[in-house]
């Protein structure tokens, strides 16, 4: 049985179809690298330049929190500025239980108005449930992350030889009764991505790590898409945001995003 098309999944699918895109631009501004030191205006320029080329945007909260209160205000205004027909994934990687998890969900969904968020599953279902209660919102569970030391825990095996990341994928399938769960799987681990797509054939998979981290774009597309060559969300941040640090940064970002979008499409079976 296929996954229910939740409100988030439909928003994602519609944007992907409209823009012929599996590209998600990470809005992770580092003020030290920006030609335009006004971070909000920089974000707006990037959005204006790329909004017809992407299937989603993904602001990482850490970059805004590092700027203090001003940064959180910029984050809120950035989310508000993104066209409503493009999903926004809040990369928060939250992981807590009870009232704390409920408070995180309220902040991310009710205040910032993200369409989806990233979560750590380490504390189990208790840490995910408050987010699933928000009907129509998406939840991306960290499964096989792109960093080098991901294997410290994610490759640990249980008594039956199943690795931790595989257990996460199976549990996510069990939890996905409303069709609003996806997984985060790094492009730096294509064989694991291939395995996870087999375990979760219908889930959206958020795939970071193709740029500075060195992930293989072709394999990320080949192993990440579903049977319809959809539901892979390929994330690029630095290679788009900093395609130029000169006054033409927005034009350069558009060119980089278009090239990425088109390269991704070359590897899809459309």
Among all residues, which ones are annotated catalytic?
Answer: 93
Two structure tokens written together for 261: 């979008």
Two structure tokens written together for 227: 């049977």
> Cβ neighbours of residue 94 under 8 Å, at least 6 residues apart?
101, 104, 108, 117, 118, 119, 120, 127
CA-to-CA separations, 95 to 9, 59, 150, 184, in angstroms, rounded? 23, 18, 17, 14
E-state strands within 64-137: 89-94, 116-119
> Cβ neighbours of residue 266 under 8 Å, at least 6 residues apart?
none
Do the Cβ atoms of 90 and 117 come closer than 8 Å? yes
């Amino acid at each position: 049985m296929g996954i229910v098309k939740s409100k988030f999944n439909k928003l994602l699918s519609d944007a992907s179809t409209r823009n012929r895109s599996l590209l998600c631009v990470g809005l992770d501004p580092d003020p030290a690298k920006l030609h335009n030191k006004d971070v909000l205006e920089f974000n707006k320029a990037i959005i204006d330049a790329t909004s017809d080329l992407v299937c989603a945007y993904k602001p990482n909260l850490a970059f805004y929190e590092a700027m203090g209160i001003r940064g959180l205000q910029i984050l809120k205004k950035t989310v508000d500025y993104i066209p409503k027909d493009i999903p926004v994934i809040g990369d928060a990687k939250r992981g807590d239980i009870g009232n704390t998890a409920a408070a995180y969900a309220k902040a991310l969904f009710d205040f910032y108005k993200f369409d989806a968020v990233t979560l750590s599953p380490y504390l189990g279902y208790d840490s995910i449930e408050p987010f699933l209660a928000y009907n129509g919102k998406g939840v991306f569970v960290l499964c096989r992350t792109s960093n080098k030391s991901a294997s410290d825990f994610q490759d640990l095996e249980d008594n039956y030889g199943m690795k931790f990341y595989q257990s996460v994928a199976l549990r996510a399938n069990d939890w996905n009764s409303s069709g609003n769960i996806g997984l985060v799987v790094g492009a730096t681990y294509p064989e694991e991505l291939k395995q996870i797509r087999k375990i979760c054939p219908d889930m959206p998979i958020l795939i970071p790590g193709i740029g500075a981290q060195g992930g293989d774009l072709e394999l990320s597309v080949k192993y990440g898409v579903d049977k319809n060559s959809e539901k892979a969300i390929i994330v690029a941040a630095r290679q788009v945001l900093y395609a130029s640090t000169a006054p033409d940064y927005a034009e350069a970002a558009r060119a980089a995003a278009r090239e990425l979008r088109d390269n991704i499409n070359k590897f899809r079976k459309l």
